[in-house]
A and B are shown apart, each in its own frame.
Chain A
């Protein structure tokens, strides 16, 4: 930080074009994983965020969003030999586990035909389903739920009429 300030102070005296560039960088405070640590120094590592393990199902932000995983999946083996997720979420396992069954779309091939078992293209769960962590977001989330968009459109329309 000290170096940066020195550079900013020295810049107009030394080189006018560099001043323009460095002030532009100083204003553009993008949050990076390095946390503005100088390149020649070792930045302090941030704490590894904890995984949300509440078992409480989360809202889907849009209807066809793959549901989020509300529990830890550390060291889950999902490969040719075995699928740890399916040991609870498969069609036959849900009676014992009381976990939600994988939806019928997972049995469909790409022609939309429903097969007798999980389709190979839907076998690798964490291609779509992810756990959540308690990390603070690097940038603010400006996502607006579709219900609020519909409400907004409806109010605007009724106001116009």
Chain B
């Protein structure tokens, strides 16, 4: 193995004996364009609605739910499709997200959500990943289109204007904090909110629910 690597390194270091400098330079340039262009084209293909909905997991579940929402069909005819919200637009972030998405290829191959039942079972976990991602990047994908500066709250209903003024402009909350389920159906939200229940003390051995509830409330157990 080491011998093979040494030999390879020797071949790479050796000056070219047959090809002209011009051929190597131009060839490298042309092949660079082809490979880079090909890579980017392939990347763009994976960044389309048609690609996302080519799998039944997406087409029959989340894509169907997107259709009646404002992001798919609206008065102005602008449509936000899958990658607009789920893939960062900036190149380096996009590559990072695409590398994470290799786990989704794993899920596809092993059929993690290949039936409706399995999808519903995983829906909370999947949604929480997206909420966490959008909380962490301050709802970047929302803000690619909806920015604070261009938002004229006098054109909004009073209720929306108040909420945006109190929570969005002060930076107290980010878009996804309130607008969960804007494009897809929500999972069981009671389970989503009730996660910290796991941190509660379990009843002691032989202790009934009434007694453990009393001790939880720090009441005397008489």
B157 sits at the interface (CB 8 A):
yes
Given A55-B157, A82-B181, A84-B181, are A98 and B187 neighbors across the interface (CB < 8 Å)?
Answer: no
Interface size class of A (residues with CB under 8 A): 10 to 19
A36 sits at the interface (CB 8 A):
no
A75 sits at the interface (CB 8 A):
yes
Given A75-B68, A75-B70, are A81 and B158 neighbors across the interface (CB < 8 Å)?
Answer: no
Give how many A-B residue pairs fall within 8 Å (CB-CB).
31
B188 sits at the interface (CB 8 A):
yes
Contact: B188 with A81, CB < 8 Å?
yes
B162 touches which of A53, A72, A98 (Cβ 8 Å):
A98
The interface residues of chain B lying within 8 Å CB-to-CB of A81 are 185-189
B69 sits at the interface (CB 8 A):
yes
A119 sits at the interface (CB 8 A):
no
Bound-state CA distance A77–B188 (Å) is 12
Contact: A71 with B157, CB < 8 Å?
yes
The interface residues of chain A lying within 8 Å CB-to-CB of B158 are 55
Please report the total number of B residues contacting A with Cβ < 8 Å. 14
Please give me the residue from chain B that is nearest to A84 by CB atom: B181
The interface residues of chain A lying within 8 Å CB-to-CB of B69 are 75
Please give me the residue from chain A that is nearest to B178 by CB atom: A87
The interface residues of chain A lying within 8 Å CB-to-CB of B13 are none
Bound-state CA distance A98–B167 (Å) is 13
B14 sits at the interface (CB 8 A):
no
B103 sits at the interface (CB 8 A):
no
The interface residues of chain B lying within 8 Å CB-to-CB of A71 are 157, 159
Q: 1/0 contact trace for A64-85 toward B, CB 8 Å?
A: 0000000110110101111010
A77 touches which of B70, B157, B163, B181 (Cβ 8 Å):
B181
Contact: B162 with A77, CB < 8 Å?
no
Tell me the minimal C-beta distance from B181 to chain A in angstroms.
6
Tell me the minimal C-beta distance from B178 to chain A in angstroms.
8
Bound-state CA distance A80–B70 (Å) is 23
A82 touches which of B157, B159, B163, B186 (Cβ 8 Å):
B186
Sample 28 A-B pairs with CB under 8 A, ordered by A number.
A53-B157, A54-B157, A55-B157, A55-B159, A71-B157, A71-B159, A72-B157, A75-B68, A75-B70, A77-B181, A77-B185, A77-B186, A79-B185, A80-B188, A81-B185, A81-B186, A81-B187, A81-B188, A81-B189, A82-B181, A82-B186, A82-B187, A82-B188, A82-B189, A84-B181, A97-B163, A98-B162, A99-B159
What 4 new A-B contacts, CB under 8 Å, besides A80-B188, A82-B188, A97-B163?
A71-B159, A72-B157, A74-B70, A77-B181
Please list the 6 inter-chain residue pairs (A to B) with the smallest Cβ-Cβ separation, ordered nearest first.
A82-B186, A82-B189, A81-B188, A55-B158, A55-B159, A81-B186
